[in-house]
Structure 1
């Protein structure tokens, strides 16, 4: 059996290498994987015309450079939102879709609590960077969730780009038209991985809405994890097993 061909997109904060390093080690040679950096951070500031389609186009260029007509796509947080955009516009390229707590999942059928949460996100734009990041992270987890401490020492240079990049994502989510009907036509397997300590107003709502859109949808919950202690980093062995089964089930459909 040939290795699974997979592209993995990180979230808007951690770079792709650290985000997926341990998971890829466990997956080993059975997976031909690319942990791809976001196009958003190619320059010193987000491009003025950047959108989720920019990231989708970048994924297709990466696949094309490797001669991949089809492949499995995995995205976490902001990368998950980009993965949804690609699935809607180029479903024929994807063998399967894995969503690790996508930061956004369309603008339809929001619950009142989900709507209120996004109003809070809209209030973050004018905060200074250190307050922005603190408020941004706290909104995404349950009140009693324990957030990991910042790593010791000065922040890496790439971290300075993150507040502007996160703001670009938040702005894109207000204007992007994610086509629900096109997502509903995607019949290959979709896996949604959810941390039980993440905000139910956000990820719980996203999972519930997408479960009513995708014909072949599976939800896997990790009760003790949350958006900033995500399963793919905290429990990579279990996530790797889930992904192998997910990809194997999708292969006959390609």
Structure 2
């Protein structure tokens, strides 16, 4: 029996290795999974003309390199937004989609609170660099959520590229045209994993709107988790069980 083939995209902060290392360890031998770094960070600065399509094209190149005609796709945060873009334009390549709190899910049917939140994201550009990331993180969680402290010691070298990368994502979200009708035509299983301590104005809104788009959609909530304390890193065994069930159903679908 062939292994389940999976590509996983990280968010705009952690590289793919530390983002998915714990989850990869518990998925088991029946899963051939690759945690793929974002094209956004291939160099010292975002590539010219970078967009969500750049990330989607990078995923397809990775799949082609491995000889995978079809595969399962998992995306967290910014990687989740890129996964939605790929789903809209290349649904034939995907066997299923798993969204781990996508940072953005299209520009339609926003609630007033969601629209106000994105106004606040736009204000981040005026902040000094040392204030940008803390403010960016705080917007994505409930007021009483506890954010993780910075790791001890000097920041890793890759961290210096993150403010520019986050800004590139925010710009893309304001300009990218994610086709709702094409997403609605995707009939394969979609799993949305949500942290209960993440901002309801963002992730709650995303989850609710996508539930009205995808025909085969399931929401799984982890009440004590949030965007920077995410289930796939903090509860990898439970997330692995969810994903294995999700993939198994997709594999047996005609």
Query: Could you state the TM-score of these two structures normalised by the residue count of structure 2?
Result: 0.99
Q: Deviations over 1:168-208 (max 9, x none)?
A: 00000000000000000000000000000000000000000
User: Counterpart in 1 of 2:12?
Assistant: 12
> Secondary structure of 1:158's partner?
helix
User: Counterpart in 2 of 1:60?
Assistant: 60
Distance in 1 separating the partners of 2:150 and 2:30 = 34
User: Counterpart in 2 of 1:189?
Assistant: 189
Moved over 6 A (4+): none
User: Counterpart in 1 of 2:32?
Assistant: 32
User: Counterpart in 2 of 1:143?
Assistant: 143
Q: Deviations over 1:151-177 (max 9, x none)?
A: 000000000000000000000000000
User: Counterpart in 2 of 1:92?
Assistant: 92
User: Counterpart in 1 of 2:22?
Assistant: 22
Distance in 1 separating the partners of 2:11 and 2:210 = 19
How far apart are 1:252 and its partner, in Å? Answer: 2.3
Confirm or deny: 8 A CA contact 1:56 1:85 kept in the other structure: yes
User: Counterpart in 2 of 1:167?
Assistant: 167
Confirm or deny: 8 A CA contact 1:95 1:253 kept in the other structure: no
User: Counterpart in 2 of 1:104?
Assistant: 104
Q: CA RMSD in A?
A: 0.7
Distance in 2 separating the partners of 1:158 and 1:241 = 31
Unaligned runs of 5+ in 1: none
> Secondary structure of 1:96's partner?
strand
How far apart are 1:130 and its partner, in Å? Answer: 1.5
Confirm or deny: 8 A CA contact 1:132 1:163 kept in the other structure: yes
User: Counterpart in 2 of 1:153?
Assistant: 153
Distance in 2 separating the partners of 1:151 and 1:190 = 34
User: Counterpart in 1 of 2:250?
Assistant: 250
Distance in 2 separating the partners of 1:238 and 1:54 = 31
Unaligned runs of 5+ in 2: none
In the alignment, does 2:133 pair up with 1:133?
yes
User: Counterpart in 2 of 1:230?
Assistant: 230
In the alignment, does 2:109 pair up with 1:72?
no
How far apart are 1:85 and its partner, in Å? Answer: 0.1
Distance in 1 separating the partners of 2:26 and 2:129 = 35
User: Counterpart in 2 of 1:118?
Assistant: 118
Confirm or deny: 8 A CA contact 1:12 1:166 kept in the other structure: yes
